[in-house]
Amino acid sequence: MDFPDLGPLWLTIRLAAVTTLFLLVVGTPIAWWLAHTRSRVKPVVEAITALPLVLPPTVLGFYLLVFLSPDALLGGLWLDATGSTLTFSFSGLILASMLYSLPFMVQPLQGAFEVVGRAPLEAAASLRASPFDAFLTVATPMALRGYLTATVLTFAHTIGEFGVVLMVGGNIPGRTKVVSIQIYEQVETINYDAAHMLAAILLVFSFAVLLAVYSFNRRFPVHVG
Amino acid sequence: MDHLNVDIRVRYPAFELDVAHDFAGEGITALFGPSGCGKSTLLRSIAGFERAATGRVALGGEVWMEGRRGLAPHRRGVGYVFQDTRLFPHLTVRGNLDYAQKRAGRAAVRYSFDDVVSGLDLAPLFDRRAGQLSGGERQRVAIGRALLARPRLLLMDEPLAALDTRRKAGIMPYIARLPQAFGLPVIYVTHAIEEVTQLCDRIVALAAGRIVATGGVAETLERLDLGEIQGRFEAGVVLEGRIAATDAEMHLTRVDLGGRTLEVPQILGADGGVVRLRVRARDVSLARTRPEGLSIRNMLEARVLALEPEAGSAFAEVLLDIGGQHLRARITRAAVQEMGLAQGQPVVALIKSVAFDRQALPRPLRRGREFDQAR
């Protein structure tokens, strides 16, 4: 039996890790704003961030393909700046994954920030902590569970993506060929042994990550109240 | 010490706060009134937490708010003790205290970390988390944490409201000493009259978003128009006196009110110590002449200063002079008529010693020595 090429698996993990990292940076301020704003446009922003949950990945992928293509404004600017296209590239995949997994980062964080609420921030302010200081030293540690949940969900969700990647990235080995597409390919070519092996690796890996997270959560519970 | 000058309006759909007052720069000022009168909103406005607030807030020459623009709360240097303490759950007691200490900056010279820790007996709690503290301990840590940020003004929002009577009594002495020990003025929000009489030097009374009375504790509480705030049932006066003698066998303490003596259940304190006693109007009866053969221990010579029949009710309130201090009696209008009470008339005021219920008796207003050193 041929051992399947593990390149796509490695690419998938890299994609998921980078996407999660970037989304932590982008998702935190969005979640913070949603948790604390009294603005009237809040439901609009909430609906937009939740869209990837309900849209078929092919729809999201199609629009991304349109906007990221070198003929479109965003794709064109990227091409001018970097000399490479966003479509059918790893960078494009990251951007697509970030949009695709956005709600999985924003919603748990928003929930966690809402649970923390304003009260501890007022307490921090009365102790001379600036808002950013209070965010780092009070809100973030108190929302640690939310961060954990958001990180794991985002990572896992990105690993499992298929439709968007297929539309935006295609199937270029070493650049955009992720493991879910590889499995699909093996099944299509009736190569069930390789499909089995890859699927099992993904299954065990996902389980191990979740197990690690929940064990950590148990050993270091965040005291609230 | 700097005065806190406040001229604030806060408008909500169903409520409006409109308050202008110059808070004294020393001692403890009670912000007193029924639930929903706006006392917490006023306190939050002073701290900068109330977004809807407009007007002016200034401490000494430093303007904290002018119109709609306000200095950010963390730049005001105001300490805040919340009713729900808001200790940080992810930190130990020590961590909570350090949080404030680290951010005090140059203001940290006024008193040391150890002054606060020893003054509030916090050292035994250091390694615990907020969840492992009793209500009283939690509140003590919260007070210590607020002090360690070296505020110029301490705001306390019903810090004792969630505690039972015994825990309250345990923490009150700590609060009473704060202004002297750490040299900062305190504004103390409460709707509990015992806390006002035992802790505070002045009252700012609020009702429905407006100030209705201000002044010293004793004189403000005896004003007749405060009945609506206190509730007729709780209305009364505060008497100041010195411990004259203690009868250990009978467990009684005699308090000298300046010529007249009051006998109350034993107060723990040295002779000569100053105490405040609250006498509810409903616990005072009147007689025209000194009765005999009664169980009532306290019979004070008094003179009627004012008669206030309450229209549409069975009751009347009588304001009495007892040698300089005032007393209020709540009796029936029928009694007023039958006794033929009139202004200027001498009467005898009768108060059962039992009316001073054991737990409501204040401790003597002494200053702790350890705090005086902390200064």
Among B177, B192, B221, give the residue marking a domain's end.
B221
Measure the CA angle with vertex B278, ends B272 and B279; round to 5°. 115
**Testing the interface with B: which of A38, A116, A127, A224 to mutate, by most B Cβ within 10 A?**
A127
Q: Which amino acid is at A104?
A: F
Cβ count near A15 (within 10 Å): 23
Q: Kindly list the strands in the beta sheet with B236-247, ordered across the sheet, starting from the edge strand earlier in the chain.
A: B261-265, B252-256, B236-247, B274-280
For residue A164, what are the domain limits?
Answer: 7-219
ipTM: 0.81
Q: What pLDDT sits at residue B193?
A: 81
For residue B187, name the pLDDT band (cuts at 50, 70, 90): very high
A130 Cα to chain B: minimum distance (Å): 6
Does one domain contain both B208 and B264? Answer: no
Task: Tell if the CB–CB gap between A128 and B105 is shorter than 8 Å.
Answer: yes
Q: Which two tokens stand for residue A105?
A: 């980062």
A126 lies in some domain: yes
Phi, psi of B82 (to 5 degrees): -90, 155
Task: Tell if the CB–CB gap between B74 and A131 is shorter than 8 Å.
Answer: yes
For residue B232, name the pLDDT band (cuts at 50, 70, 90): low
Q: What pLDDT sits at residue B363?
A: 53
Does one domain contain both B122 and B264? Answer: no
Lowest-confidence region among A46-50, A102-106, B265-269: B265-269
Q: What pLDDT sits at residue A145?
A: 87
Write the CATH number for B287. Answer: 2.40.50.100
Does one domain contain both B69 and B45? Answer: yes
Task: Tell if the CB–CB gap between B72 and A144 is shorter than 8 Å.
Answer: no
Task: Give the chain A residue whose CA is nearest to the CA of B73.
Answer: A125
Question: What residues of A are in contact with residue B47 (Cβ under 8 Å)?
Answer: 122, 125-126
Task: Tell if the CB–CB gap between B88 and A126 is shorter than 8 Å.
Answer: no
Mean pLDDT over all residues of chain B? 86
For residue A135, name the pLDDT band (cuts at 50, 70, 90): very high
Length, in residues, of chain A: 225
Q: Which amino acid is at A16?
A: A
B374 lies in some domain: no
Length, in residues, of chain B: 375
Question: What residues of B are in contact with residue A129 (Cβ under 8 Å)?
Answer: 74, 99, 103
Q: Which amino acid is at B167?
A: R
Does one domain contain both B108 and B247? Answer: no
Structure confidence by residue, pLDDT tens digits, B342-371: 999 999 999 988 777 654 555 555 433 333
A225 lies in some domain: no
Phi, psi of B219 (to 5 degrees): -70, -30
Question: What residues of B are in contact with residue A223 (Cβ under 8 Å)?
Answer: 89-90, 129-131
A82 lies in some domain: yes
Does one domain contain both B87 and B63? Answer: yes
Asked whether the predicted pLDDT for residue B372 surpasses 60, the reply is no
Q: What's the mean pLDDT in B186-202?
A: 88
Write the CATH number for B18. Answer: 3.40.50.300
A1 lies in some domain: no
Task: Tell if the CB–CB gap between A122 and B80 is shorter than 8 Å.
Answer: yes
| Higher pLDDT pick, B108 / A90 | A90
- The DSSP bridge pattern shows strands B53-59 and B4-12 to be antiparallel
Q: Which two tokens stand for residue B94?
A: 């020590």
Does one domain contain both B248 and B208? Answer: no
Count up the domains in chain A and report the number.
1
* Distance from C-alpha of B168 to C-alpha of B146, rounded to nearest angstrom: 19
Structure confidence by residue, pLDDT tens digits, B316-326: 889 899 888 88
Q: What pLDDT sits at residue A117?
A: 94
Question: What residues of B are in contact with residue A131 (Cβ under 8 Å)?
Answer: 72, 74
B229 lies in some domain: no
* Distance from C-alpha of B270 to C-alpha of B247, rounded to nearest angstrom: 12
Write the CATH number for A138. Answer: 1.10.3720.10
Does one domain contain both B9 and B83? Answer: yes
A83 lies in some domain: yes
A2 lies in some domain: no
Q: Which two tokens stand for residue A111?
A: 């929930």
Contact yes or no for B196/B221 (Cβ under 8 A): yes
Instruction: Pick A127's closest partner by Cβ from B89, B90, B103.
Output: B103
B35 lies in some domain: yes
A144 Cα to chain B: minimum distance (Å): 10
Question: What residues of B are in contact with residue A142 (Cβ under 8 Å)?
Answer: 88-90
Q: What pLDDT sits at residue B366?
A: 44
Task: Give the chain B residue whose CA is nearest to the CA of A124.
Answer: B74
Contact yes or no for A184/A108 (Cβ under 8 A): no
Does one domain contain both B253 and B208? Answer: no
- pLDDT above 90 as % of chain A: 48
Instruction: Pick B49's closest partner by Cβ from A122, A129, A224.
Output: A122
Phi, psi of A116 (to 5 degrees): -60, -45
* Distance from C-alpha of B344 to C-alpha of B355, rounded to nearest angstrom: 26
Question: What residues of A are in contact with residue B141 (Cβ under 8 Å)?
Answer: none
Q: What's the mean pLDDT in B224-244?
A: 69
Structure confidence by residue, pLDDT tens digits, A74-88: 888 888 888 888 888
Structure confidence by residue, pLDDT tens digits, B123-163: 999 999 988 999 899 999 999 999 999 999 999 999 998 88
Does one domain contain both B89 and B189? Answer: yes
For residue B249, name the pLDDT band (cuts at 50, 70, 90): confident
Asked whether the predicted pLDDT for residue B218 surpasses 80, the reply is no
Task: Tell if the CB–CB gap between B77 and A223 is shorter than 8 Å.
Answer: no
Does one domain contain both B175 and B286? Answer: no
Task: Give the chain B residue whose CA is nearest to the CA of A121.
Answer: B86
Please, which residues have CB within 8 angstroms of residue B164's CB and are 6 or more apart in sequence?
B135
Mean pLDDT over all residues of chain A? 88
Lowest-confidence region among A8-17, B10-19, B265-274: B265-274
Q: What pLDDT sits at residue B100?
A: 95
Among B163, B186, B221, give the residue marking a domain's end.
B221
The stretches of chain A forming alpha helices (DSSP H) are 7-36, 42-54, 57-68, 73-82, 90-116, 119-126, 131-134, 140-142, 144-159, 163-169, 179-188, 192-219
Count up the domains in chain B and report the number.
2
B193 lies in some domain: yes
Structure confidence by residue, pLDDT tens digits, B106-130: 766 788 999 999 989 999 999 999 8
Task: Give the chain B residue whose CA is nearest to the CA of A118.
Answer: B49
Q: What's the mean pLDDT in B241-251?
A: 86
Q: What's the mean pLDDT in A25-50?
A: 95
- pLDDT above 90 as % of chain B: 40
Question: What residues of B are in contact with residue A36 (Cβ under 8 Å)?
Answer: none
Q: How many CB pairs under 8 A join A and B?
A: 77
Q: What pLDDT sits at residue B373?
A: 38
A141 lies in some domain: yes
B371 lies in some domain: no
Q: How crowded is the C-beta side of A47, counted as CA atoms within 13 Å?
A: 5
Q: Which two tokens stand for residue A49?
A: 């961030």
Q: What pLDDT sits at residue B314?
A: 87
* Chain B interface residues (partner A, CB cutoff 8 A): 47-49, 72-75, 77-80, 82, 84, 86, 88-90, 99-100, 103-105, 129-131, 145-146, 149, 151
Instruction: Pick B74's closest partner by Cβ from A120, A130, A137.
Output: A130
Question: What residues of B are in contact with residue A134 (Cβ under 8 Å)?
Answer: 74
Asked whether the predicted pLDDT for residue A126 surpasses 90, the reply is yes
A224 lies in some domain: no
For residue B13, what are the domain limits?
Answer: 4-221
Among B221, B254, B269, give the residue marking a domain's end.
B221
Task: Tell if the CB–CB gap between A130 and B100 is shorter than 8 Å.
Answer: no
Asked whether the predicted pLDDT for residue B268 surpasses 50, the reply is yes
Does one domain contain both B65 and B211? Answer: yes
